[in-house]
Amino acid sequence: MGTSPTPGDRDGSRDLDAASSEPLHPAARAVLLDALDRGYADPRRLHRQGRSARLLLDNAREVVAESLKVRPDEVSFTGSGTEAVHRGLLGLLQGAQRHGRAVVLPAVEHSAVRHALAWAQAETREVGVDAVGRVDPASMRAAAAAGPPAVVAAVQAANHEVGTVQPVAEVVEAVGLPVFMDACAAAGRLPLPEGWAAAAASAHKWGGPPGIGVLLVRKGARWRQPFPGDDRVDERVAGFENVPGALAAAAALQAVVAESTGTAARQHALIARVREQIAATVPDVEIVGDPEARLPHLVTFSCLYVDGEALVTELDRHGLGVASGSACAASTLTPSHVLTAMGALTHGNVRLSLTRETTTADVERFLAVLPGVVTELRARVGMA
């Protein structure tokens, strides 16, 4: 990033909230502009423009499949990662409906999973996690077998809020059920584990355009359409496909996967530096999540005697854009269910996540500003 502000940072501020949305990758920008001219038509049509759009859509599917190590016919494009979560999970539940409606899942799953199950009126069996947010496969197996056997399991590839990687392959082996995997936080950053039946990803998390999700359904999985069908190219989704968006998402994914080894190593080291320095310079702080087996770009910590939203606001005044995990449910004034399940401090919570453009200087600036901001906020409430 150097001394010249990047697009989106023209005032010199720094976006440290890549877990919410990564800036558009240059590869996606170039492809998107070109595809807007060549991929506007309905890919179902047989005329030249329709065939061109279909070719671009098929190309996007093949690139995503190669990047994520799946088959092209296992890839579908949706309107968001949330929609992909809903379709993937509820499709597995629909496919197993003759055998029951019980789903077993860790207590730290994304709210999109929880909302989908509530909408479907499924029997939900949440399994507790350890102090770093990891679920025990044996506990998942026990919950699946308790009472009427569960028919589907759900587990994240890595937690969106604290970064902890989940033992997906071990859960698959333990429960012996079709497993839905929410890979929205991990796709493009970590290799996907094996064994799941359906999965979801979100393009804007890896630098693709917003409004593009990816639904993955393994060949042979017992997945059934959970929503009204459509006569589109892809029977797993509905509505006119966003062909330019899908192609741009594929281009960004291909680029970040090619860069992932070097980017992950650099970001992992920067986050290790953040974890070490915060513990050394900020009193009464709790750093959550696994220190090693985690997403490379993300760290979450909580400061005692500090309001999380106030901390985010003050850091933003210093030109540092971060998120508050405890503020993800701010509209209902409820703490983060992820931190609650971990038994972690839920107040004064900050999630910092590095973009691909974040430099060492940006991280050091954050580390220099944070202690003073925390001290000031504590002084305001008489806790200097």
Sign for the pseudo-dihedral over CA of 301, 184, 191, 362: negative
CATH architecture of 14-24+260-380: Alpha-Beta Complex (3.90)
Q: How far is CA 39 from the centre of its chain?
A: 28
From start to end of the chain, where are the E strands? Answer: 14-15, 75-78, 102-106, 123-127, 152-156, 179-182, 198-202, 213-217, 285-288, 298-303, 320-321, 349-353
Q: What is the pLDDT along the chain (384 residues), one digit of tens a residue?
A: 333 344 444 456 788 998 888 999 999 999 999 999 888 888 888 898 888 889 999 999 999 999 999 999 999 999 999 999 999 999 999 999 999 999 999 999 999 999 999 999 999 999 999 999 999 999 999 999 998 999 999 999 999 999 999 999 999 999 999 999 999 999 999 999 999 999 999 999 999 999 999 999 999 999 999 999 888 778 899 988 999 999 999 999 999 999 999 999 999 999 999 999 999 999 999 999 999 999 999 999 999 999 888 999 999 999 999 998 654 444 444 688 999 999 998 888 999 999 999 999 999 999 999 999 999 999 998 876
DSSP 8-state code for residue 294: B
Catalytic residues, which ones? 328
Backbone angles phi, psi at 17, to 5 degrees: -135, 50
What's the CA gap between 127 and 108, in Å, rounded?
9
pLDDT tens for 6-28 read: 444 445 678 899 888 899 999 99
pLDDT tens for 128-176 read: 999 999 999 999 999 999 989 999 999 999 999 999 999 999 999 999 9
| CATH 3.40.50.720 at 26-255, yes or no | no
pLDDT tens for 74-89 read: 999 999 999 999 999 9
What's the CA gap between 87 and 82, in Å, rounded?
9
**9 and 233 in contact (C-beta within 8 Å)?**
no
Sign for the pseudo-dihedral over CA of 330, 334, 335, 338: negative
Q: Left if phi > 0, otherwise alpha if psi is -120 to 50, otherwise beta: which for 12?
A: left
DSSP 8-state code for residue 107: T
Q: Where are the domains of the chain?
A: 14-24+260-380, 26-255
Token pair in block for residue 240: 């006119």
